[in-house]
């Protein structure tokens, strides 16, 4: 597989050289012959120039952080694994955001941060021994090919339409190369490891998309991200009380610290919030945005006035087939934003699943009844007005797009 991967890389470059070289040669011949066809070939030039630019672009380095000597127990595990395999121990151990243990070079071992949260020390030792025992020919070149072809494919996908003919070919070639490279660089998981790497990868992706990024639109990040990932793991794959491999890290090198170092500078500068506050901020942000869209500049009191006058259609979604149902749904968004603004409703994190709505007095049942009456075919808005007044919502309430700091 390693030889096949190298052959594919060579074949790809030969194809590029033949295409570009053939174009240049044909253009030169046609220009010498003063042929009008040379002008037709120049139409292809911008596409080839973009392709060459994509091939020559450099990717930014993959974010990693170096493990310091302070994490003595993790270093001891790595050295013990190297002795078991009979190889020289790595001189550098780095952490990244992947879900694997791999040799980036003969002397540099890379361990994924989410992996340290998911496996116990015994399982980590097995993975380190397996990584140290793998001696793949052309490993650096194959790994470079993975990064290079993936970057080229992604760059071409964002370029103008004159590169459209090259995209399917590059995409198909890259997909095949990635399959070959994966088989060349990895071996099947050891039977001693009691977890499925694919499941951990899926949960890590879910965590990043659904949870870690939960507060991004509101401008916040979780204060303890990896504690949240552990909660998700416990919910989906009960781990029990057994210590995780993260316990091998030094006190100052927690998983949360490592996760923070893998973020961009802009993300590291963002304010932090605990998970429940983050859930509340993110949901308030979404419901506020929806309420602004529904009201269209009106105050909540003015909207209720129009409902009381029998004007349902103005609050319904344009083109809605069931006007009453649409008004009920959209009015609930506005009322929820108003009650969240005064602290009657809030959200807290639920693992797994979306944030959970918590309702204080006057209670969910009273709110539901008042909304049903206000959004009926013959609206009765007085109960809803009274409920809002008791809850502390002013008649001139308008959703405010800019959220305040965590309360």
Average pLDDT over residues 257-268: 82
* 302-326 confidence digits (pLDDT tens): 999 999 998 888 899 988 889 999 9
Of 136-150, 252-266, 340-354, the range with the lowest mean pLDDT is 136-150
- Compute the distance between CA of residue 20 and CA of residue 179 in angstroms, rounded to an integer: 27
- Residue whose pair of structure tokens reads 């309360």 in the numeric block: 407
Which pLDDT score, from 0 to 100, does residue 191 have?
A: 42
Q: What does the alpha-carbon distance between residue 17 and residue 298 come to, in Å, rounded to a whole number?
A: 63
Q: Is the pTM of this model over 0.85?
A: no
Mapped onto helix, strand or coil, the DSSP state of residue 102 is strand
Q: How far apart are CA 343 and CA 332, in angstroms?
A: 16
2-32 vs 139-157: helix crossing angle, rounded to 10: 50
103 three-state secondary structure = strand
**How far is residue 266's CA from residue 88's CA, in Å, rounded to a whole number?**
39
User: Which has the closest alpha carbon to 94: 80, 105, 82, 83?
Assistant: 105
- Work out the pLDDT band at 383, boundaries 50, 70, 90: very high
- Nearest CA to 112 out of 207, 211, 236, 240 is that of 207
Q: Residue 350: is its pLDDT beyond 60?
A: yes
DSSP secondary-structure letter at 195? S
Place of tokens 């749904």: 329
Q: Higher confidence at residue 259 or residue 380?
A: 380
CA distance 149 to 96: 21
DSSP 41-101: HHTTHHHHHHHHHHHH--PPPPP-EEPPTT-HHHHHHHHHHHHHHTSPPPSEEEEESSSSE
Average pLDDT estimate for 56-79? 79
Question: In the prediction, which pLDDT does 178 show?
Answer: 80
Could you give the maximum distance between any two Cα atoms of the chain, in Å?
Answer: 89
Q: Identify the pLDDT of residue 213.
A: 84
Q: Which residues pair with 4 in a beta bridge?
A: none
Specify the pLDDT at position 49.
Answer: 57
H/E stretch holding 187: none
Q: Which residues contact 360 (CB under 8 A, 6 or more apart)?
A: 343, 344, 345
For the residues 33-59, what does the mean pLDDT come to? 54
Question: What per-residue confidence (pLDDT) applies to 400?
Answer: 81
Confidence class for position 404, pLDDT limits 50, 70, 90: very low
Among 389, 401, 382, 365, residue whose Cα is nearest residue 304:
382
pLDDT number for residue 152: 74
Query: What is the pLDDT, as a whole number, of residue 13?
Result: 66
Please report the pLDDT score of residue 194 as a whole number.
Answer: 45
- Token pair of 323 as six digits: 């006007």
Tell me the C-alpha to C-alpha distance, in Å, between residue 276 and each of 73, 196, 215. Answer: 33, 30, 11
Task: Provide the percentage of residues in the chain whose pLDDT is more than 70.
Answer: 78
Task: Please choose, from the candidates 109, 243, 102, the residue with its C-alpha nearest in 3D space to the C-alpha of residue 185.
Answer: 102
Nearest Cα residue to 149 out of 1, 5, 17: 5
**Average model confidence (pLDDT) for the chain?**
81
Joined together, the tokens standing for residue 52 give 């060459």
Cα(208)–Cα(68) distance, integer angstroms: 26
Q: Decide if 23 contacts 52 (C-beta within 8 A).
A: no
Q: In this predicted structure, what is the pLDDT of residue 1? A: 62
């Amino acid at each position: 597989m390693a030889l096949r991967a190298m052959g594919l890389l060579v074949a790809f470059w030969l194809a590029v050289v033949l295409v570009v070289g053939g174009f240049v040669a044909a253009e030169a011949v046609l220009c010498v012959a003063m042929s009008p066809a040379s002008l037709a070939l120049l139409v292809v030039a911008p596409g080839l120039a973009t392709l060459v630019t994509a091939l020559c672009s450099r990717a930014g380095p993959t974010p990693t952080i170096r493990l310091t000597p302070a994490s003595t127990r993790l270093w001891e595990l790595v050295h013990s694994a190297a002795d078991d395999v009979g190889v020289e121990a790595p001189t550098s151990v780095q952490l990244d955001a992947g879900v694997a243990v791999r040799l980036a070079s003969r002397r540099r071992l890379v361990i994924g941060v989410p992996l340290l949260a998911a496996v116990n020390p015994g399982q980590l030792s097995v993975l380190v021994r397996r990584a140290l025992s793998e001696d793949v020919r052309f490993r650096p070149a194959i790994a470079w090919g993975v990064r290079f072809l993936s970057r080229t494919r992604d760059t071409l996908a964002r370029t103008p339409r004159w590169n459209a003919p090259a995209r399917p070919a590059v995409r198909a070639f890259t997909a095949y190369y990635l399959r070959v490279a994966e088989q060349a660089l990895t071996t099947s998981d050891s039977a001693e490891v009691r977890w499925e790497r694919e499941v951990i990868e899926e949960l890590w992706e879910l965590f990043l998309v659904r949870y870690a990024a939960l507060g991004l639109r509101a401008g916040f990040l979780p204060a303890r991200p990896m504690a949240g990932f552990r909660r998700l793991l416990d919910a989906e794959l009960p781990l029990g009380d057994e210590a995780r491999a993260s316990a091998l890290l030094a006190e100052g090198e927690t998983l949360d610290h490592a996760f923070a170092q893998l973020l961009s500078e802009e993300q590291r500068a963002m304010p932090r919030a605990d998970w429940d506050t983050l859930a509340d901020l993110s949901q308030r942000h979404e419901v506020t945005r929806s309420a602004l869209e529904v009201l269209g500049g009106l105050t909540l009191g003015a909207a209720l006035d129009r409902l009381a006058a029998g004007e349902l259609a103005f609050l319904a979604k344009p083109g809605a087939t069931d006007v009453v149902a649409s008004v009920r749904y959209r009015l609930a968004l506005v009322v929820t934003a108003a009650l969240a603004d005064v602290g009657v409703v809030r959200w807290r994190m639920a693992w797994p699943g979306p944030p959970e709505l918590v309702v204080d007095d006057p209670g969910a049942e009273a709110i539901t009844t008042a909304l049903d009456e206000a959004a009926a075919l013959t609206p009765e808005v007085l109960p809803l007005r009274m409920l809002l007044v008791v809850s502390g919502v002013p008649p001139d309430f308008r959703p405010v797009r800019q959220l305040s700091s965590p309360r």
